[in-house]
Structure 1
Amino acid sequence: MLVILISFAFGFGWILARIGLPPMVGFLVAGFAYNFAGLTPPDGLDLVADLGITLLLFSIGLKLDVRSLLKAEVWASATMQMLATTVFMCGVLFLGQRLFTSELLAMSWSTLLILAFALSFSSTVFAVKVLEDKGDLFALYGKIAIGILIMQDLFAVLFLSASGGKIPSIWALCLLGLPLMRPILFRLLDLAGRGELFVLCGLFIALGVGAELFSLVGLKPDLGALIIGGLLATYPRASELSRALFSFKELMLVGFFLSIGMTGLPTWEMLIAAALLCLILPFKTGIYHAVVSLFGLRARTSLFASLALTNYSEFGLIVAAIAVGQGVLSPEWLMITAMTVSLSFAISAPLSANAEFLYRKMHGWLCRFERDSCHPLEEPIDLSSMRVVIMGLGRIGTGAYDELREVYGNAICGVEHAPDRVDHNREQGRNVILADACDTEFWLKLRTDEQLELVILAMPKHHGNMYAAQQIRNLGIQCQVAAIAQYPEEVEELEAIGVCTAFNLYEQAGSGLARTALEGCRLKETG
């Protein structure tokens, strides 16, 4: 059965990827197809799914800036959105009771309110996966979306504790002392070195110290993984740990998406109910956009954050399961919720992937909702006095900056969309601004002059460098453009749109190593 399930997952994932949808949508379809074929799910699939979610939240914690949750555009947006969406969904369900005579809608006001509350959540798993694939996890809109999702997770913990009748143990207060364990955890990771011991140490901390410890005191295990990951966010090798767990986490998440489709076989009435709930997703998106726009964010940032959250959450499945177990909700709603979540993923994926296209089409209308006062991180960009601009201040970008600073002095500037990298580079004495070169508005508000001689595109994602190169060409900026690439076909694509120098990292690294080795040999001979 396991071989058949893997075959289903690979087949449907490959097909959906070929037509432009994320493979995760294919995994959802594979779960339904596997269930429809009457096959029995392999033992341990739910355990794999839970492990994937736990590791995902642990990875989020490793990249979490707790200070971002204290910003009004995060905690206030999340609170206002939860209230507004719950009221809206409650009104929709009440209207459905009046318009349709289906037994599915025969529920009390309290049950209707619980269901509306569940539908107000968005999927953390799906949104983070989409943002990771797009390389926008650290973009401003990505950080706002993740912050809202984390706040929603905190609301979920409170609700589950209350509705399930499970009150946290008095020992849960001891978790307030977790920050005192941070030096011990840092030392443990250092002792693990690198390789498989480093990965196992990360798994031990995520599952043993985080998830299991929280479960023992009556709290949600996933919350424990998130918090313990957040404690490790300041660890110097936190990003290395996240990369080490990446493939393992991705594989486990396949089990999560497969398991959603295996909750049962839907009837036509259930399919219609799920489809109708998905038809109101645009209203949920509108609520997100209206709330986020209140804090001075530009139309593009608000739209992108809203589209990333345009889905229903797996939390709805948990709420439905609790309500069914308590006899409050009919068992059919568990399957309806699973179908609704799955369909919302299939709808949200192409919307998020084509967010830039949608923004261009709706730009004029969306700008009406922008406030007169602009968010500090959304200010216009003035690079008119710069001769060199480097977009992307990772290891390659910072290396290029330091090399060129010897020639251009202070007339060089870096552009980076991750606030922590901006702070780090500024501490190192580099002139870096916080901006997103994949943002259309960045190019519309960019001010340059004829002094600009060189632009280096050192962003990690090829599509980001391609987009920036296209904007330079479209705006008629007269300068030399150089970019990094990882594969020969990427070099060809960059050269086709006018990039003067496309640097193949793998090929050039090998030749650079050879030149350095030869220079070392010559020095040894002359010495």
Structure 2
Amino acid sequence: MEPAIIVIALVCGFICNRLGLPSLLGYLAAGFVLYSLGMADTHLPLLQQLADLGVLLLLFAIGLKLDIRSLAKAQVWGGASAHVLLSVTLFVPFLKVLGWLGLSQLQALDTWQLLLLSFALSFSSTVFAVKTLEEKGEMASLYGQIAIGVLIMQDVFAVIFLTVSKGEFPSYWALALLALPLLRPLFSMALDKVGRGDVLVLFGLAMALVFGAALFEMVGLKPDLGALIMGIMLANHKRASELAKSLFELKELLLVAFFLTVGLNGLPSLQDFSLALLLLLLLPVKMAMFFVLFTRFSLRARTGLLAALSLTNFSEFGLIVAAVASFKGWLPAQFVVVLAIALSISFLIAAPLNTHSERIYQTWQSFWHRFQKSHLSVVDQPINLGSPRFLILGMGRIGSGAYDELVTRYGNCVVGIDHKPDIIDLHREQGRNVILGDAVDTDFWHKIDPSAGIEMVLLAMPHHQGNLFALGQLNHSAYKGQVSAIVQFEEEVEELKELGVAAVYNVFEAAGAGFAEQIAYELMPEPQTQYSTDGKNNPL
């Protein structure tokens, strides 16, 4: 590969990073620079192959983190389906008006071609949304999960279109893929046995590219769908997160090639550039439709807005749809370049919108709340903690042991939080007061009030980064009580103490009861009274 490609991509990415912009915008700019230098013909094919691999690994990583039940939510399948229909309904008249106003590219299109173009414009970028959510650390948030779910539904729509566009149905052997779930125990066993480092990376590549993409392509289905489904099959494995992390750097590097290829598709004529700019007028319409649909499905205004902003862009899949339509002769070839430019500029617009999404919500909060329904969906209702003295984030072995010890010492004034429904059910069967919530989800912190009478928060989540995130949220809230946390490694102790954690406990020293004992002796006075089971400070 030409060294200039690496240098130009590095310089452009570095400049954007220093300006506080997402580095992907620099890679887009690098693509246009490379095209201007005449590198498209010689290097586009190789970069396109690398970009395709990046997209496959991205979809595999999404599958690893996806709860398949989230696709069954009405906000996801209903929102995605309604948005596509509304987009086509509204975009076709808009494009017709532009044609009547004198845009020659659109004047020559008939209604069928306008429908195709509108369909391509209705998609949002999976690559951009995932990159943005990962950079913000909000992949696990409710709005992030809803946005990803909608994108996956859109990808399914694109796969259906691409399959139909071939003029042939998948092979009869595609029915054999229905037996893939039967192989799930075998894949899980292999993941249990495979080591770490390069072997784990190769295992991930084999699952995504061979058993996923290549297998699906052999039977006439889109390889992207295969990579996604293979990720979903491993999503509940205990090492799924470790596997995703092992592929992270490789996936990020390959996605650089994706953004370079967008710019390498060509520079438009003045007329094409003008049309691309006019197509950007559809972005506020897309955002408004998503926001209204999400709030109609009983999501909070904040959830609906942040999810809508994540989807306010044009899509690489829309570009693929246009390219296939152009190859079939259904759309003029110039529209691929027009959509590539519109896609690139939509990323430039969407990046700051998503960076400042919380500020956008807070600044016009009263306006957004006009659209919020009085009765909210179960998944997005405020969380009522009651009046506990202790809040435990993470109800695994350590958190459970600490819960029981604190209840023994101070009475029933403890509330536990965990993000796994099956764990919640188990704790409730055993009589513990445990609430469903995800402490690494920013939405969770907007649904609770940790300052209301809580004296201590125990960070008992198994991952250090999760505890750090929760600590950051506490430090930015009105909470004034004490915080204690668990660690697995000594080097994590000082980091937590510098951030204000009063007591840090090594999980390998003892069980959860030891955690609670340390809290009792180091931070809390011995109880002078035994507290009643209603959580109030009344002597029995």
| Fold shared, TM-score > 0.5 on shorter chain | yes
Q: Which residue of structure 1 aligns with residue 436 of structure 2?
A: 434
> In structure 1, which of residues 252, 255, 265 is the aligned counterpart of residue 254 of structure 2?
252
> In structure 1, which of residues 214, 217, 222 is the aligned counterpart of residue 216 of structure 2?
214
Evaluate the alpha carbon distance shift between residue 91 and residue 2 of structure 1 in structure 2; reply closer, same or farther with a 3 A threshold: same
Report the Cα offset of residue 308 of structure 1: 0.7
Evaluate the alpha carbon distance shift between residue 67 and residue 38 of structure 1 in structure 2; reply closer, same or farther with a 3 A threshold: same
Instruction: Please list the CA deviations of residues 446-470 of structure 1 after superposition, one character each: whole Å capped at 9, or x if unmatched.
Output: 37643x2113466638566434312
> In structure 2, which of residues 466, 474, 482 is the aligned counterpart of residue 480 of structure 1?
482
SS at match of 1:148: helix
Instruction: Please list the CA deviations of residues 222-256 of structure 1 after superposition, one character each: whole Å capped at 9, or x if unmatched.
Output: 00111111112222322221111111111111111
Contact 2:468 2:496 (8 Å CA) reproduced: no
Q: Which residue of structure 2 aligns with residue 321 of structure 1?
A: 323
Q: Which residue of structure 2 aligns with residue 413 of structure 1?
A: 415
Is 1:38 paired with 2:38?
A: yes
For normalisation by structure 2, the TM-score amounts to 0.84
SS at match of 2:477: helix
Contact 1:298 1:374 (8 Å CA) reproduced: yes
Contact 2:295 2:301 (8 Å CA) reproduced: yes
Letter in 2 for 1:468: L
Between the aligned partners of 1:444 and 1:380, the Cα distance in structure 2 is 4
> In structure 2, which of residues 66, 80, 83 is the aligned counterpart of residue 81 of structure 1?
83
Contact 1:380 1:442 (8 Å CA) reproduced: no
Contact 1:415 1:435 (8 Å CA) reproduced: yes
Is 1:466 paired with 2:472?
A: yes
Is 1:446 paired with 2:445?
A: no
Deviates more, 1:305-314 or 1:125-134: 125-134
Q: Which residue of structure 2 aligns with residue 167 of structure 1?
A: 169
Q: Which residue of structure 1 aligns with residue 335 of structure 2?
A: 333
Report the Cα offset of residue 106 of structure 1: 1.9
Letter in 1 for 2:309: L
SS at match of 1:471: coil
**How many residues were matched structurally?**
494
Between the aligned partners of 2:212 and 2:343, the Cα distance in structure 1 is 27
Letter in 2 for 1:446: D
SS at match of 1:261: helix
Instruction: Please list the CA deviations of residues 40-94 of structure 1 after superposition, one character each: whole Å capped at 9, or x if unmatched.
Output: 4535211111011001111111122222211211111111111011111112111
* 1:110-509 equivalences in 2 (<5 Å): 110-391=112-393, 393=394, 399=398, 402-403=401-402, 405-409=404-408, 410-415=412-417, 419=419, 421=420, 423-424=422-423, 427=426, 431-435=433-437, 439=442, 442-443=445-446, 446=449, 449-450=452-453, 452-456=454-458, 460=466, 465-472=471-478, 477-481=479-483, 495=499, 499=500, 501=502
Evaluate the alpha carbon distance shift between residue 422 and residue 6 of structure 1 in structure 2; reply closer, same or farther with a 3 A threshold: farther
Structure 2: stretches of 5+ with no match in the other structure: 511-540
Report the Cα offset of residue 295 of structure 1: 1.6
Report the Cα offset of residue 133 of structure 1: 1.7
Q: How high is the sequence identity, in percent, across the aligned residues? A: 43
SS at match of 1:341: helix
Contact 1:455 1:480 (8 Å CA) reproduced: yes
Evaluate the alpha carbon distance shift between residue 482 and residue 322 of structure 1 in structure 2; reply closer, same or farther with a 3 A threshold: same
Evaluate the alpha carbon distance shift between residue 483 and residue 97 of structure 1 in structure 2; reply closer, same or farther with a 3 A threshold: farther
SS at match of 2:435: strand
Evaluate the alpha carbon distance shift between residue 445 and residue 367 of structure 1 in structure 2; reply closer, same or farther with a 3 A threshold: farther
Runs of 4 or more above 6 Å deviation: 483-492, 508-512
SS at match of 2:375: coil
Evaluate the alpha carbon distance shift between residue 277 and residue 448 of structure 1 in structure 2; reply closer, same or farther with a 3 A threshold: same
* 1:89-104 equivalences in 2 (<5 Å): 89-104=91-106
Between the aligned partners of 2:219 and 2:307, the Cα distance in structure 1 is 34
Between the aligned partners of 2:447 and 2:193, the Cα distance in structure 1 is 49
SS at match of 1:151: helix
Evaluate the alpha carbon distance shift between residue 199 and residue 362 of structure 1 in structure 2; reply closer, same or farther with a 3 A threshold: same
